[in-house]
Amino acid sequence: MEVPLEIPIGDAISRIQFAPNSNNLLISSWDSNLRLYDFDGSVLRLEAPSEAALLDCCFQQDDSVAFTVASDGFIRRYDLHSGIIDPMGNHDDMATCIGYSNETCLLITSGFDKRLLSWDNRTKKHFSLSMTLDAEIDSMSLNGFKVTVGIGASAHVYDLRKFDKPNLSMEPCNGTQLRCVSSIPYAEGLAVGSVDGRVALHVSSSSNSNDIGYTFRCHPKSKDGQHHLAPVNAIAFSPLVSGAFVTGDDEGYATIWDARSKKRLVEFPRYSNSVASLSYNHLGQLLAVASSYTYQEAKEIVEPPKVFIRKVDNIDFGSSSARRKT
């Protein structure tokens, strides 16, 4: 069953994210509004206007505080109970990615100023550390003490406890531009989606000789009798089923895969826009899908952005190697 959320959103959706401990959904958008939707109560709890397009968002470790980064470079903190918005600091150019680490209590942001910044919300000055990279960061993902960033065709993994150089650097799609990166929650590793429709997974071990890595064509589509590939915009791993992850592409398809067998488990009916962002709830029973143009392609379909919630706890995985967590 799938439920469309009746929320008018005036411009492209940049990110959707379920709360750490509830079914509240955070939605950031290019229309400069941060929205908080209570799925259980079927009500919009908060709509907070900002001064610039919001390019990413995240929760803190509980459900009461959220953060955004915006086209004006500013990082903003939102009290989701009172609606109060506080600026924390800024990048020197557009701020594009944000994530929160529960393990370190640090907020990590990146921007077009080629800097990766960390912020400590427990101090008055907030700002903690800065690292200047060689190029703009296109995508970012946090898991535990690790932050994974995508820069051009390269993926780099940093340890937040030793924030000076990457522990791992690689070109997982052999020189092809990356569109998204995702840390693997159940292992030391990463998954990436590329502009040519490939997904690459790399799982690290204590011995480099035992590292596991593979790439597969994720979203091959047929159009006008010709085979073409749709860029992969988003990847999210299931908290409920170990080894299962979902991808979303520019053609509007969301597909669940088995990471171990590389087999497609289910492909949902096509959405009217690109799949711009994906998020599982904390139990892995619900999947949020943002159907929105992304400003990535010149010929994108421009339909009103929408968010859909799909129940996924009843999917039959059959003989797949992906298994429900107990």
For residue 100, give the CATH number of its domain. 2.130.10.10
Structural domain count of the chain: 1
> Can you name the residues that pair with 16 across neighbouring β-strands?
27
pLDDT score for 68: 98
Residue with the larger pLDDT of the pair 211 and 222: 211
Over residues 65-94, the mean pLDDT reads: 95
Q: CA-CA distances (angstroms) from residue 325 to 186, 239, 266, 308?
A: 11, 8, 19, 25
162-182 tens-digit pLDDT: 878 888 899 999 889 999 999
Q: Categorize the per-residue pLDDT at 223 as very low, low, confident or very high, splitting at 50, 70 and 90.
A: low
Find the domain containing 103 and state its range: 2-324
State the amino acid at position 23 in one-letter form. N
Q: Is the dihedral of CA 48, 124, 92, 56 positive or negative?
A: negative
pLDDT score for 326: 57
pLDDT score for 218: 73
Q: Categorize the per-residue pLDDT at 61 as very low, low, confident or very high, splitting at 50, 70 and 90.
A: confident
| Sequence-separated (6 or more) residues with CB below 8 Å from residue 256 | 238, 244, 245, 246, 264, 265, 266, 267, 312, 315
| Reported pTM | 0.92
Q: Categorize the per-residue pLDDT at 226 as very low, low, confident or very high, splitting at 50, 70 and 90.
A: low
pLDDT score for 129: 76
The chain-wide mean pLDDT, for the chain, equals 89
Over residues 85-112, the mean pLDDT reads: 94
Name the residue with tokens 């919630």: 309
Q: Categorize the per-residue pLDDT at 130 as very low, low, confident or very high, splitting at 50, 70 and 90.
A: confident
Name the residue with tokens 């009461």: 64
pLDDT score for 317: 67
Complete edge-to-edge strand list for the sheet that includes strand 212-217: 178-183, 189-194, 198-203, 212-217
pLDDT score for 22: 96
Helix, coil or strand: residue 209: helix
pLDDT score for 209: 54
| Sequence-separated (6 or more) residues with CB below 8 Å from residue 3 | 39, 308, 309, 310
Helix, coil or strand: residue 236: strand
pLDDT score for 121: 76
182-205 tens-digit pLDDT: 999 888 889 999 999 999 999 876
Q: Comparing C-alpha atoms, which of 240, 315, 292, 286 is closest to residue 38?
A: 286
User: Distance between alpha carbon 59 and the CA centroid of its chain, in Å?
Assistant: 12
Q: Which region among 40-49, 90-99, 227-236, 283-292 has the lowest average model confidence (pLDDT)?
A: 227-236
Q: Is the pLDDT of residue 125 over 80?
A: no
Residue with the larger pLDDT of the pair 1 and 19: 19
